[in-house]
A and B are shown apart, each in its own frame.
Chain A
Amino acid sequence: EAQVTQNPRYLITVTGKKLTVTCSQNMNHEYMSWYRQDPGLGLRQIYYSMNVEVTDKGDVPEGYKVSRKEKRNFPLILESPSPNQTSLYFCASSPSSGENTGELFFGEGSRLTVL
């Protein structure tokens, strides 16, 4: 089944404790992206990647890092989480060619709480 898989789905952590949210897609998509969703603010893009070893900042990259060493994986790293990073995070992928070009396929989300 074609899917985008995020882990963990739920996490409660404390300020300053490094964490990684993993994202993996099995559709051989070139493009991957991370969004955060907050009440009243909608979805905001954190980072995106056009292909392996190619990443770029979205609208709200502060406090986050990403890497794209393999095509299928795009982990989101919070080096020193703070309470304002409490949010619902979504990973998404998209093909860069073909019938579904530009259409995002989303994971189920990772709800992160930073105390």
Chain B
Amino acid sequence: QVQLQESGPGLVKPSETLSLTCTVSGASISSSSWSWVRQPPGKGLEYIGYVSSSGSTNYNPSLRSRLTMSVDTSKNQFSLNVSSVTAADTAVYYCARGTSGPDTWGQGTLVTVSS
């Protein structure tokens, strides 16, 4: 059974960098591409981007200039960095498997941007 678990700080200051890690269990990270999706409180879903098992990335153009994604095959993890955050980046961040239609999702982690 494939499971994904997000981890990282729940509070980030404006202008700083949001950093999250997703740990994959029950599957090799080399077996798929891995996505990040976010959901502002009370709102809908926004697809952020994905990283392939080889480390290639594809970012949503609306966020591209501030995003970095990477994969660590030795730890079976992948990560997301969002730089220069503002209050608009406050959201539940989900990691998920796949990109054309993610089939497995983590439980999500709330990241609040506030001083």
* B is a partner of A: no
B positions within 8 Å CB-CB of A: none
